[in-house]
Amino acid sequence: MTDLGDRRVENSATPPQTAAAGTLWRPFEEEPLLTPMMALGWDATAPQDRARLVQYLSALVAARRAPVHVNVAFNAVYFGYDVVTGGYVGGPLDLFAFPQVRFGETTEALPVGAMVNIAAGDQPLFAEVVYKEGEHPALETDGALPGWLSGAPAGATGPGVADAPPDGSVLRERLVIDVDAFGQGFSATLARLDRLRHRGRWLDADGHILLDARYATRHDADLDDTEFYAQYLLTRGRDQLRSAAAPLPLTTVLSDNASEGQLAAALTGMLATVADALASLPELRMWRGYAFTRASLTARLGDPGPLGGGDLGSLAAQLARSAVPSRRSRWAPSPTVTYTAVGPRLRSVRDGATQLLDVGYALAVCHANAVISDYARRETDEATGLLPGEVHLRLDDPWQGGGVWRAEYPDSTYVHIDVTEPLGLGWLSTLPPVLPDELDADLADGAVHTASRSASESVLTPTPPQPEPQSEPELVLEIPQPEPKDAGGLGELTVTDSQVSWTQALRLTHLLEGRLPLPDSICTQMRDAGLSDVRMRLIVTHDGYDLDPAEATQTVNTDLFANPQMMGIEWPLEFFAGIVLTCTWGRGASTVRATTTLLDCPVILDGMEIEHRYDPRILTRDAAPGQPRRTGERDRRSGTSPLSLPQRVLRAVRCLGLLDPDGRAVLARAHLPAAVNIIAEANAGAELDVAVEGLLAAGDLRSDVGSVDVTGQLCFPPIPGALTVPLVIYEPRPVKGSPRAAAPRRSPALEARFVRTHSVAGHLRRIGDVGWAASEEARQAYREDRVRFRLFGPAELPEGYTYIRPHSRGSS
């Protein structure tokens, strides 16, 4: 440690001391709360540094009136928020360097965590953005909104229409600001805030900023809050990030040869460490990156007044009931879906306006979403996953209007997906169904056999309107029989001088029994390489995810003769029936590598979100109602009770129908009675027609016509001139989700060799309040390190502060 020789200028002062263990961190009076190792993540952080960080964050969240977003928590530890005095009052921040914002105008988009200078007449209004949400003009005052808006991407202008220029999008946003972030009354008095709210020129009536936010690209608009803030700090906020006035400027934790990529990775690591620290605190609760105390939620739930527990509980129940028709039909109920935004709905609560002023709105929104999510989980039936009244309630859009909740009646195909995972179904429902274009054509030509002919013999394609079916065809069709459970899935085979590659889509039986089929041609080469009696190694990679080491590398048995396969495999629970593996075997090696591949865009099919390349034919067969699950249980929606008649019909069509490469299954209508009996061993009886009509009305099946060839085989599309027969068809309708984040969004991992190994980074320390002044040695050290670490801010050490150089315990 450099001895800076700070000198006292008043006799009564004593030198500042390092904080004792267990005391609350005070910026610029004690060592920085952040440490270099925190750039490598929470797991790399020393236990004593973890303890200091979580103690401070717990106090921070309890002290601030708004919920504390991860970005705001990072600000507090990076720029030095003093919990005792209540603001960023310790550091010499250049307030006038903050970006200027004007109410109601179009401006460059600002992230949560941005520090701003609000144009508010003669006197500036300095504030920190602590919360933001979408404020689309189509939001109604009671929270209602058109379905297409829920989950709509940046640039969407109507149902299924996103025609904004790709080089930029302008979104209407509501920013909640904390004008007391720099000290109570420092930026504005209560009287001035009241005047600003009433005039409505610089703030709206709630004390918020409404503006049209311009994003440079659609990609930027689709970043989450923390990703967007990291990008902001590395670009427009770069001077602030590199400020010499920060307790721990980020460049000081990195070696001199660290690249810009390593700087970005260090920032991402610091943000992740703060997020993990917040999540580790049991006294806090998180909602979409915002932390608030459980005590504050308990206090609200116990409050009998406006926006108290009674109002929020009623709100949750009302959102669910909004999808239930006021009058029940005697016949099959018509599906109903409603979308409601939480923010506008809270404003409609009688006498609740005062609790939504300023930062109170952000806290009320987080509390309301927490209550709704608890209700949607707690009140569901374990067997059906539905709320009372056969309603499914889930978060669909976390950003627009404080969060959009979707209520669906009756039943839903999404009950097995976490209700707080936003799927954007409102927007997706306006898009035409598409098939995943990532499905390889060679794989689509594989042999998944059907009852009457192989898929390669019956390529089913959409056809123009067909002739009306003739009544009572005289040809008798052979009743289809179930196929072998492990048939099909083998795709293209590539052979080079050094290795052999092939694709294999896993059947349900492969997952349940821990097997991987091997192509016959490969087994021959493995036998020739002397691997017949050798246990082989299987290396599994799940694209985009980290597997448990025991799953990633396994030693397994092989059968290279009668039934070529690998056995005794522990497949990751994330694998599903139909997932496609790309397998590689190096000639002569005892190792096989199996890798999944992420789709460019995830799809939602039958209520299941699919992120990886898959074979739709296998999904049609092996995900039919009543099929076993990986846990050995049957379909959750059927519980342990027998399948209903509509479920048996759907299962019969999917399991016995003529199958095409796109997963479409076709079954003659005349075969249904026998097919249902084959599947369920029960008499469908006269109710079969009612069940089929219900499935057709719900869109689970559709009807069409096919024909019978001279051999008595079913054909679709029908052969011109041949006898036609009525068909029932299951047709998968995968809905493509938002494009996956582009690779540049992910910063490269920070390499430990670029992190300085000193235990205490260089930092400022306030000494003026105790009558001390910095020595010339300290001033010179500040100048040198400012240049060395490429810092911005004051060229000279600010008055009232000294500079402590890094204490080295290793190399520097």
Tell me the pLDDT tens digit for each residue of 715-739: 888 988 888 899 999 999 888 876 6
* Residues 688, 725 within the same domain: yes
Beta carbons of 163 and 145 less than 8 angstroms apart = no
Q: For residue 502, tell me if it sits in a domain.
A: yes
> From CA 644, how far away is CA 239, in angstroms rounded?
65
**Any domain includes 16:** no
Q: How confident is the model at residue 3 (pLDDT cuts 50, 70, 90)?
A: very low
Instruction: Evaluate whether residue 717 is within a structural domain.
Output: yes
**pLDDT tens-digit map of 214-258:** 998 888 898 899 999 999 999 999 888 887 777 878 888 887 788
423 and 313 in a common domain: yes
Q: How far apart are CA 161 and CA 639, in angstroms?
A: 40
124-148 mean pLDDT: 95
Domain boundary among 692, 714, 735: 735
Q: How confident is the model at residue 760 (pLDDT cuts 50, 70, 90)?
A: low
Query: Does residue 528 fall inside a structural domain?
Result: yes
Taking 70 as the threshold, does the pLDDT of residue 92 lie above it? Answer: no
Strands (E), 655-698: 658-659, 665-668
- Does residue 693 form part of some domain? yes
Which has more confidence, 18 or 562? Answer: 562
Position 458 scores a pLDDT of 35
Residue 36 has pLDDT above 60, yes or no: yes
**Claim to verify: residue 661 and residue 566 sit in the same structural domain:** no
Indicate the helix (H) or strand (E) that contains 178: strand 169-178
Which residue range is the domain that position 707 belongs to?
441-462+615-735
Same domain, 624 and 567: no
Whole-number percent of the chain with pLDDT over 70: 79
pLDDT (mean) for 684-689: 70
Q: What is the pLDDT of residues 465-524, one digit of tens each?
A: 444 444 444 445 555 666 665 666 666 677 766 788 999 999 999 999 999 999 988 898
Number of domains in the chain: 3
Tokens 């009770």, residue? 641
Same domain, 619 and 584: no
Please check whether residue 5 lies inside any domain of the structure: no
Q: What is the DSSP string of 328-375?
A: --SSSPPPEEEEEEHHHHHHTSTT-GGGGSTTHHHHHHHHHHHHHHHH
Kindly give, in sequence order, each residue whose CB lies less than 8 Å from that of residue 746, ignoring residues fewer than 6 positions away.
none
With cut-offs at 50, 70 and 90, classify the pLDDT of residue 744: very low
- Dihedral class, residue 321 (left if φ above 0, else alpha if ψ from -120 to 50, else beta): alpha
Same domain as 513, residue 595: yes
Distance CA 68, CA 57 (A): 9
Domain boundary, last residue among 735, 766, 784: 735
Q: What are the tokens at 243?
A: 């400020």
User: Are 652 and 580 within one domain?
Assistant: no
Between 128 and 448, whose confidence is greater?
128
Residue 383 included in any domain: yes
pLDDT-wise least confident of 311-315, 391-395, 748-752: 748-752
Cα 192 to chain centroid distance, Å, stands at: 40
Q: Is the pLDDT of residue 125 over 70?
A: yes
Sheet holding 169-178, edge to edge: 100-101, 115-118, 125-134, 169-178, 209-215, 106-108
pLDDT of the residue at 15: 38
- Residue 557 inside a domain? The answer is yes
Residue 746: band (very low, low, confident or very high) from pLDDT cuts 50, 70, 90: very low
> Do 404 and 495 sit in the same domain of this protein?
no
- Co-location of 577 and 626 in the same domain: no
What pLDDT score was predicted for residue 811? 39
**Least confident interval from 99-113, 262-276, 514-528, 668-682:** 668-682
pLDDT of residue 65 exceeding 80: yes
Average pLDDT, the chain: 82
Q: Which of 600, 634, 654 is the last residue of a domain?
A: 600
Q: Is the pLDDT of residue 685 over 70?
A: no
Lowest pLDDT segment from 370-374, 412-416, 778-782: 778-782
Q: Tell me how far apart the alpha carbons of residues 279 and 285 are, in angstroms, rounded to a whole number.
A: 8
User: Do 532 and 418 fall into the same domain?
Assistant: no
Q: Give the pLDDT band (50/70/90) at residue 608.
A: confident
Q: What is the H or E stretch that residue 290 is in?
A: strand 290-293
pLDDT in tens, 534-556: 899 999 999 988 888 889 999 99
Q: Look at the block and give the residue holding tokens 């600003």.
A: 196
Rg of the Cα atoms in the chain: 32
Same domain, 572 and 631: no
Let me know whether 418 and 298 are in one domain: yes
Judged against a pLDDT cut of 80, whether residue 637 lies above it is answered with no
What mean pLDDT do residues 599-622 have? 90
